[in-house]
Amino acid sequence: MKLLLSLSLFSLAATVVVPVAAQGFKPSRPVDLIVHGGPGSGVDVTARFVNGMLDKEKLLPVRAVVVNKPGGGGAVAAAYLAEKKGDAHTIAFFTALWIGGPLTSKEARVQFHELTPIVRLILDPAVIVVKADSPYKSLPDFIEAARKAPGQLRQVGGSIESRDNLIRQLLQRATGASWTYIPFPGGGERVAAVLGGHASLYIADAQEVREYLRNGSMRVLAQMGERRMPAYASVPTIQEAGYNIPIVRSMRGVVGPPGIPREVAEYWENVFERMVKTDAWRKYLDENQVEDGFQRSAELAQSAVEFIAQRRQIFKEAGIQTYR
């Protein structure tokens, strides 16, 4: 029943952005690009790169600015966007947290289907990283150490609904090992905790730790994805390392406030469709080891329904209570 209700609501949202001739709208003042992560987080890095592309490729007639609204695992930013009902000059970069987070939070005021889907841009693989001089040379090394010292090792990450913690929960249930999880709002703080020796492990979007892997201050133990990323071809996936847990997928894209006119939603949809066809965007995908996940609004709405069903099952397997 919940899934059918979500599907009907998403279908209703998707009708806002059925392609039509979008000649009646162009931004007339600066645009706010809302992100739920702090400076240095994966979504922040993506938003700032996209903003640069919008300017360089002259895809907008006005300037845009990234506005950070961290907190609540995306809930603060989602609530802020929902308050901008009908505002054609505010859009947001969402991640999987916006879709799956409300399932586990009684306090979440906004669900994804209440917003206006615009496009999906990226599918994110994940990497499990440690400091370069860590004693753990493989994921089994870390798991075995955690089994011998329950609760003593520390992992940093995002909110408890984030992929970081979901992978941790699934690994703990599969292995019987246990370790502590410490949430931080921004990627920069998580990296600093690992490099400073205050935490042993970080499960990150590949682009968040790209420079630290390149300069040798971090290294990869394993990766989460259906296949190995070319940049880390010698590093096994979690499943190849011997842990039969579900692949926890993640995505990034753009969503608008509720109640924006159809021509406004289509305008933004077309802007990003032009962006993903540029050489600069293809280079960005390759350099950051992320996958092209482009979908227009109607496809995104359907993907979100399927994503919720998958997350609900993963939450169940991880022993995480859901409220919706």
Residue 70: other Cβ atoms inside 10 A: 20
Q: What integer pLDDT is reported at residue 125 of this predicted model?
A: 87
Residue for token pair 């609900």: 312
Same domain, 259 and 118: yes
CATH number at residue 197: 3.40.190.10
Same domain, 152 and 58: no
* Average pLDDT taken over every residue of the chain: 89
Residue 22 domain-assigned (yes or no): yes
Contact between 170 and 248 (Cβ < 8 Å):
yes
Q: How many domains does the chain have?
A: 2
Q: What integer pLDDT is reported at residue 23 of this predicted model?
A: 56
Same domain, 8 and 91: yes
Same domain, 154 and 296: no
- Give CA–CA dist 45/47, Å, rounded: 6
The two three-digit tokens of residue 46, written as one number: 């993506």
- Find the angle CA(256)-CA(121)-CA(283) to the nearest 5 degrees: 135
Distances in Å between the alpha carbon of 58 and those of 50, 52, 264, 278, 320? 12, 10, 18, 12, 45
DSSP string, 29-72: S-EEEEESSPTTSHHHHHHHHHHHHHHHTT--SS-EEEEE---G
Q: What integer pLDDT is reported at residue 22 of this predicted model?
A: 40
The SS3 of residue 205 is strand
Q: What integer pLDDT is reported at residue 157 of this predicted model?
A: 93
Residue 241 domain-assigned (yes or no): no
Q: What integer pLDDT is reported at residue 8 of this predicted model?
A: 47
Whole-model pTM over 0.85: no
User: Phi then psi for 280, rounded to 5 degrees?
Assistant: -60, -40
Q: Domain range spanning residue 201?
A: 126-232
- Single-letter code of the amino acid located at 70: P
Same domain, 133 and 114: no
- Give CA–CA dist 4/276, Å, rounded: 32
List per-block mean pLDDT (blocks of 10 residues) for the chain, which spans 324 residues.
46 43 79 92 88 96 96 90 97 93 88 97 93 98 98 92 88 95 88 96 89 95 90 94 89 96 96 96 88 94 92 80 85
The two three-digit tokens of residue 73, written as one number: 């695992």
Residue 242 domain-assigned (yes or no): no
With CA atoms as reference, report the closest residue to 171 among 32, 279, 30, 318. 318
Same domain, 118 and 259: yes
End residue of a domain, out of 206, 232, 258: 232
Contacts of 30 (CB under 8 A, 6+ apart): 62, 63, 64, 65, 89
Residue for token pair 């290294």: 219
Same domain, 215 and 253: no
Q: What integer pLDDT is reported at residue 4 of this predicted model?
A: 44
End residue of a domain, out of 232, 260, 280: 232
Residue 76 domain-assigned (yes or no): yes
Same domain, 144 and 293: no
In Å, how far from its chain's centre is CA 217?
Answer: 24
Q: What integer pLDDT is reported at residue 7 of this predicted model?
A: 45
Contact between 228 and 146 (Cβ < 8 Å):
no
What is the largest distance, in Å, between two alpha-carbon atoms of the chain?
Answer: 64
The two three-digit tokens of residue 210, written as one number: 């790209």
The SS3 of residue 131 is strand
CATH number at residue 111: 3.40.190.150
Contact between 44 and 38 (Cβ < 8 Å):
yes
Residue 323 domain-assigned (yes or no): no
Residue 237 domain-assigned (yes or no): no
Same domain, 73 and 207: no
Contact between 66 and 48 (Cβ < 8 Å):
yes
Same domain, 176 and 287: no
Same domain, 173 and 269: no
Residue 238 domain-assigned (yes or no): no
The percentage of residues in the chain with a pLDDT greater than 70, rounded to a whole number, is 93
Residue 239 domain-assigned (yes or no): no
Contacts of 121 (CB under 8 A, 6+ apart): 46, 50, 252, 253, 254, 272, 276, 293, 294
Same domain, 95 and 209: no
